Structure 1
Amino acid sequence: MNSLPLHHSQELLSNDENEFQFSYYIRPTYHFRMEILSFDHQIKVLQPVSLRETISESLTAALNLY
């Protein structure tokens, strides 16, 4: 993900054997949210809380279909 950034503002905050942490300076648009969701269970939104809740609601809605 570091070699192909999601957004030009992407900044690597930490990199250890278990995870990468990135920072973005972005307005979380629909397309950015869809990009986040495309990573399935391999990504976790930490902040802002509003984006974290939006992603959680989308995943819960998808799960409720099954």
Structure 2
Amino acid sequence: MKITVDRDRCVGAGMCAMTAGEVFEQHEEDGRVVLRMTEPPAQLTDDVAEAEQLCPSRAITVDPAAG
């Protein structure tokens, strides 16, 4: 899987960091998403998919076929 984020679209809700903290974190200054890894291991697939679904601004894109 490969993950991309759109920081301009992010509203800083933090659902991604709470759901998949190994992959996402919030920037200290503006609260927007920071991607910690673009191609996480398979065991994080469910958490990443949930983070994508919970993102209120749809700033996270997951391509399950890439990687």
TM-score grouping bracket, smaller chain normalisation: 0.3 to 0.5
Higher helix share: 1
TM-score (norm 2): 0.37
Instruction: Indicate the structure (1 or 2) with the bigger Cα radius of gyration.
Output: 1
| Higher-strand-fraction structure | 2
Q: Which has the higher contact order (CA 8 A, sep 6+)?
A: 2
Scaled by the length of structure 1, the TM-score of the pair is 0.37
